[in-house]
Amino acid sequence: MRRYLCPWSKSGVRVFESDVLVLGSGIAGLYTAIKASEYFQVTVLTKKTIKESNTEHAQGGIAVAIDEADSPTQHLQDTLKAGAGLCDPLTVKILVEEGVVCVEELMGMGAQFDYKNGELALTREGAHSQKRILHALGDSTGWEIERALVAKVKSTPEISTFEDRFVIDLLENVHGDIIGALVLNGETGELEGHLANAVVLATGGLGQVYSFTTNPNVATGDGMAVALRAGADLMDMEFVQFHPTALLIPNAPRFLISEAVRGEGAHLINANGSRFMDKIDGKELAARDIVARGIWKEMNESSVYLDFRPIGERRILERFPNIYKTCLKYGVDVLTMPLPVAPAAHYMMGGIATNSYGETSLSQLYAAGECACNGVHGANRLASNSLLDGLVFGARIVKRIRDKFDGKRPCWEEVVSPEDSQCGIEAGTNMSKMSGVSLRKQIQDLMWSQVGILRNEESLKEASRLLAAWEREVLLTPSVDDYETVNMLIIGAAIAKAALDRKESRGGHFRSDYPLRLDLDGWQKHSLQCKEDNYVRYISVSRAD
């Protein structure tokens, strides 16, 4: 794997400077930027518009133990149980305890959650023992949070935002410190160098690596890929969460049908109208990996539907107005008929390895949100913990940056540039047949069929072989589409590699040839990968920062 995605010269780059550089504009990126702006000059770069992220698409809500009947201890226990033995208990403790304060701060920034009878309205989702999910505008929680954070960012003079900026690679000095990012300006086609004392990756997920996903088009795993090329460790890449219920209608996107729908009482049924999850512990509210596999198995025999009708018409319209309108647009009135659903790639539990302060294995590089992996989600994320994750660990990153900040900004002369023009990914003999645009769908179809909900040795080896061959043969042009495609190849290969090496089933990773969870056989551990190694390393679940 080459260090840089494309050749470039220091003389042809426009340079910008700030104290803290944040890459990404979801909840993790914007909240980190706002907290950092209390002490530093901050730059936020975003791939498309500042509002476009996975956060905006989050429906269910944000989990936090604020009810009198609830407690952070119960929230911790639910998270550990859902994580299938792979959560770091100390990191989860930080999440559930510090999350309460962060949510209060979020509300202070203008986020308006739903109230009922003068109190915050709480609902329950799968694998939660209590009602602890805050929501906004019924089923538009992510949209409301993003709205509030964007408004706060735009009113903060210490924060500069640049839209339509694609991060090609991270920049380093001779000591190996990460001191910025090489960026493509989508408006002008020019290269930019953004330098800072601290760089925070908050670039979101990778759902677009799969054919069917609830993620927006921007979720192509870019942050994880640039971190890997720079030498950072990736952790737990085998653990991809497939959301159980996404809209399944021809020519319609795999629109997410929130877990909260089942939390409010909707039933999963087959073509005969039978509740096929009835014999499973937790039924429709079991952990996501269990429900997704239950639906996948049932789909081999019959179509699967989500029946909203047990919720009641008034509650459906009150709680899920956006879902109701979207389904109606595609010809399904959930007030009167069941909705066809199927699993879709939704969330990455793995990502750039960090400690509980967001520090990566590279100096001055931090990561937060879905692109990061600190062990808080284990092998299977508990519903609605993702937004909380972005808040808590974004805030902790700022604390660590403050502790280490020396006030001296890096200069452009310190940047290590490519030694020659051959630093990009080389094209092979079939390059005319392997353009990035045409290759993307092949990657997505391969990942869905061979590295999806059910996996085995044969399918994973075939996927690894093809992804490696395609990476050697892709024709790379200086465009966002092609850069994204190469990032998808790199990240797809990392997922397949980790999945092939883990010879057990746990959480979001299920091997049909190794169907058992094997704690006693030594598999209760995190996987690590870096570009220098051709093998997967493992570390203990409980780690000290």
Which sequence spans correspond to the domains of the chain? 12-239+349-413, 243-344, 425-516
CA dist 400 and 120 (Å) reads 32
Task: Please tell me what DSSP assigns to residue 521.
Answer: I
Give the pLDDT of residue 435: 64
Residue 445: CB atoms within 10 A of its CB come to 12
440 is catalytic: no
Residue with tokens 């995605």: 5
Give the pLDDT of residue 431: 41
State whether residue 194 is helix, strand or coil. Answer: strand
How much of the chain is in helix, strand and coil states, percent to nearest 5?
35, 20, 45
Q: One of 124, 147, 262, 288 is an active-site residue; which one?
A: 288
For the chain, what is the radius of gyration of the CA atoms?
A: 22
Nearest CA to 347 out of 378, 323, 315, 322 is that of 378
- Which residues are within 8 A (CB) of 104 and not within 5 positions of it... i.e. 6 or more apart? none
pLDDT for residue 373 is more than 70: yes
Least confident of 229-233, 293-297, 477-481: 477-481
pLDDT for residue 149 is more than 90: yes
Domain with residues 425-516, CATH architecture: Up-down Bundle (1.20)
**344 DSSP β-pair partners:** 243
Q: What's 243-344's CATH class?
A: alpha beta
**Comparing 253 with 427, which gets the higher pLDDT?**
253
State whether residue 159 is helix, strand or coil. Answer: strand
Give the pLDDT of residue 433: 53
Residue with tokens 């979801």: 26
Alpha helices in 251-367 (DSSP H): 259-263, 288-299, 313-319, 321-329
Angle (nearest 5°) at CA 200 between 198 and 204: 170
- The two structure tokens encoding residue 116: 């009922």
pLDDT for residue 198 is more than 50: yes
Same fold for the pair 12-239+349-413 and 425-516:
no
Give the pLDDT of residue 421: 37
**CATH assignment, 12-239+349-413:** 3.50.50.60
Which band of pLDDT confidence, cut at 50, 70 and 90, is reported for residue 14? very high
pLDDT digits (tens, 9 = 90+) for 506-525: 999 999 999 999 999 999 99
